[in-house]
Amino acid sequence: MKTSYFAAVFSVIAASACGPGESVPPHDDAGTPPSDAGAMCEAACVPFHPAFWYGPALVWMGDEAAAPPCPATAPFDVYSAHGYVEGPMPCDACTCGPTSGSCEQSEPVTAAAASCANDGTGVEHTSSDLPVGWVGSCNAENAIPAGKLCGGVPCVQSITIGPLRPKQTGCLPMPNINASPPPWNRFARACSLPTALGGQCPASSDICTPAAPGPEFKQCILYLDGYSLSDCPSTYPEKSVFYQAPTPKCGPCACDVPDSTCTGSISLYQGDACGTEIGAPIPIDAAGPVCVDVPPGSALGSKSASSLSYQAGTCKPSGGAPNGAVFCCQP
């Protein structure tokens, strides 16, 4: 017997007895119809549902006042729901709150025993890293003395400074308080059997199921978690979305990481008190590391930063779609 299919049918029947908002039955996710020895199918052979779908079932769609009962060949109403002729239920667009923050320079500061142009594999490097969360005050940690040699050449010939990093808060999803949905103007009723029909189909990918009693019923499969589905399978190409709860919910909103940036400059000094500079202040930002050449053998005694500026960006919202049941039907 085709137990995989009818386990799903019984699960959906059980679900239809639950009130709005109660748990949805687990998916029958086999994705392939079990084999069935015996006589040929005397009803309808239709494609089996893909993994994580329910069905197939006979579905009627239209004005609820005109909805017929389930046919005798499939007498159980396994899922009834409402929707709109115009398409899915409207949901307010997700939005994200403002972001705020500051800039810090906690990426590596490294001296190379070669110029920026000649730096690479095989060149010895010496760390002069800054403390975590450094925001620019004079700092003499990890100093490199003048004339220090690395493999017989000056350790300090160029210095690479890591990018600034925004330290930010906010950019949280705003509550998606959707207005009351407009009145329903479409109804769907899915009908099926509580037991297997039995019978073999010519195609091994098909399953024997009750035939439609007329053109008003269609062979359909159902996907109950409508948040994550955009397309119907090619075997059931016609898509409709319906909602079982009296006031269906719009999905949660989320916000991407904001595209904020930082700019500023860092100064390098020979002594430990940020006195005599090694060259001019070096512009830095959040885009990536910066390398500058310095007189070979220079001391790197201390560092300071100035004009650290945080430019708040925006974050892209996502989510917020209505959670409905997707009905995919044959023409």
pLDDT in tens, the chain (331 residues): 333 333 444 344 434 434 333 333 344 444 555 555 568 998 999 998 888 888 899 999 999 999 999 999 999 999 999 988 877 777 788 899 999 999 887 678 999 999 999 999 999 999 999 888 888 899 999 999 999 999 999 999 999 999 998 988 889 998 766 656 678 889 999 999 877 688 889 998 899 999 999 999 999 999 987 666 668 899 999 999 888 766 667 778 899 989 999 999 999 999 999 999 999 999 999 999 999 999 999 999 999 999 899 999 989 998 887 778 889 999 9
Strand partners, 245: none
Domain contains 176: no
Domain contains 229: yes
Give the pLDDT of residue 85: 84
Domain contains 256: no
Domain contains 63: yes
What pTM was computed for the model? 0.57
86 and 7 in a common domain:
yes
Give the pLDDT of residue 18: 40
**What's the order of all strands across the beta sheet hosting 302-311?**
282-285, 261-269, 302-311
Q: Give me the torsion for CA of 132, 138, 140, 144, rounded to 10°.
A: 100
138 and 32 in a common domain:
no
Give the pLDDT of residue 123: 96
71 and 103 in a common domain:
no
Three-state SS for 314-327 is: CCCEEECCECCEEE
284 and 137 in a common domain:
yes
Taking only the tens place, the pLDDT of each residue in 180-191 is 667 888 999 999
115 and 39 in a common domain:
no
190 and 69 in a common domain:
yes
CA distance 275 to 278: 10
138 and 283 in a common domain:
yes
Q: Are 301 and 147 contacting, i.e. CB atoms less than 8 angstroms apart?
A: no
**Residue 235 is inside which H or E element, if any?**
none
13 and 144 in a common domain:
no
Domain contains 317: no
**Nearest Cα to Cα of residue 280 among 266, 259, 299:** 266
Domain that holds residue 122: 99-171+261-311
User: Residue 200, class by beta-carbon neighbours within 10 Å (0-12 exposed, 13-18 middle, 19+ buried)?
Assistant: middle
Sequence-ordered list of residues with C-beta below 8 angstroms from that of 26, at least 6 positions apart, any chain: 11
Give the pLDDT of residue 15: 44
Domain contains 304: yes
Domain count, the chain: 2
Sequence-ordered list of residues with C-beta below 8 angstroms from that of 121, at least 6 positions apart, any chain: none
165 and 38 in a common domain:
no
Strand partners, 146: none
CA distance 59 to 210: 11
Domain contains 21: yes
Give the pLDDT of residue 150: 95
7 and 83 in a common domain:
yes
**Nearest Cα to Cα of residue 161 among 295, 307, 294:** 294
203 and 72 in a common domain:
yes
267 and 161 in a common domain:
yes
Q: End-to-end alpha-carbon separation of the chain, Å?
A: 28
Q: How many CB atoms lie within 10 A of CB 3?
A: 12
